[in-house]
Structure 1
Amino acid sequence: MPSKTEVKQINNLADLEKAFAIRHEVFVLGQNCPAELERANEEESVHYLATVDDEPAGAARWRKTADGYKLERFAVLAKYRGFGVGQQLVKTVLAGLPADANYIYLNSQIPAVSLYEKFGFEKTGPEFTEAGIRHYKMVKK
């Protein structure tokens, strides 16, 4: 059982590479997402790294779009799932958004919908497929 989970905004290249490695394992290797799609929009994003007992465990990011603030790329390594790492990532990323972030949204994979609902996100629109994976657009109310 993990004893210490931390999530921090990334401010150095070493942690950014750890986040990219987690996302590669979860999305590219684990879900067959094309690498170029998974790594799109990196430069304009604010990145986060979750650690469990000082070991890299999860990653996420947000970016400002024409629509508002989009939360993306929430990934937790398989051995750290079920310990609240995903919840801590969502909580920290939401806290890191600018004060004027009034429209916050994301595209949730179907199994993660209940996680985001805990933070006030609601499904909007029909189910859709992105990179061969079923999603719902969700907006924070």
Structure 2
Amino acid sequence: MPLETEAKRISDPIDLEKAFAIRREVFVDGQNCPPDLESEFNDDATHFLATVEGQPAGAARYRKTDKGYKLERFAVLDKYRGYGIGQALIKAVLADLPAHATYVYLHAQVQAVGLYEKFGFKPSGPQFEEAGIQHYKMVKED
């Protein structure tokens, strides 16, 4: 039986702390990302939380930059990987972008490139390192 999953925009401080806790576990604890780098721009971003059966499972955000709209900090807890949480978060974030968001991009960890390609993102430029992890810049093309 499929599990009930939901991904939605959040602003409540309790929900925000759940999202930040997921990101800390995935990025800071799991990938050794510096805490100050992981949390930079939080105040400028629109945040999302994904749940499975009501339990926090994933997080993401987007923010306006001088280039366009950047999707960031997609994180899914280990025990919820493989349940479509990443896809649900991408769908929720894309649906929430302003209608005038014509340039939409992200920095994808190498292993996640295929996931973002399913949503019309294409690699743009060479592979690069960010926070000690290999990434590709990807731009939404459709």
Per the alignment, residue 55 of structure 1 pairs with 55
Per the alignment, residue 5 of structure 1 pairs with 5
Does residue 84 of structure 2 align to residue 87 of structure 1?
Answer: no
Does residue 108 of structure 2 align to residue 108 of structure 1?
Answer: yes
Does residue 63 of structure 2 align to residue 73 of structure 1?
Answer: no
The normalised TM-score by structure 1 is 0.99
Separation (CA, whole Å) in 1 of partners of 2:87 and 2:9? 15
Paired residues of 1:2 and 1:53 also in contact (CA < 8 A): no
Per the alignment, residue 132 of structure 2 pairs with 132
Separation (CA, whole Å) in 1 of partners of 2:119 and 2:109? 16
Report the alpha carbon displacement of residue 2 of structure 1 after superposing the two structures with TM.
5.2
Task: Give the match's secondary structure for 2:37.
Answer: helix
Task: Give the match's secondary structure for 1:135.
Answer: strand
Alpha-carbon displacement from aligned partner over 1:15-61 (angstroms, at most 9, x marks no partner): 00000000000000000000000000011100000000000000000
Per the alignment, residue 99 of structure 1 pairs with 99
Matching residue's letter, 1:127? Q
Paired residues of 1:108 and 1:135 also in contact (CA < 8 A): yes
Per the alignment, residue 40 of structure 2 pairs with 40
| Structure 1 residue runs without a partner (length 5+) | none
Separation (CA, whole Å) in 2 of partners of 1:8 and 1:105? 20
Separation (CA, whole Å) in 2 of partners of 1:11 and 1:106? 22
Matching residue's letter, 1:19? A
Runs of 4+ off more than 2 Å: none
Alpha-carbon displacement from aligned partner over 1:79-116 (angstroms, at most 9, x marks no partner): 00001000000011000000100000000000000000
Task: Give the match's secondary structure for 1:125.
Answer: coil
Separation (CA, whole Å) in 2 of partners of 1:2 and 1:38? 32
Identity fraction in percent: 65
Alpha-carbon displacement from aligned partner over 1:56-82 (angstroms, at most 9, x marks no partner): 000000000000000000000000000
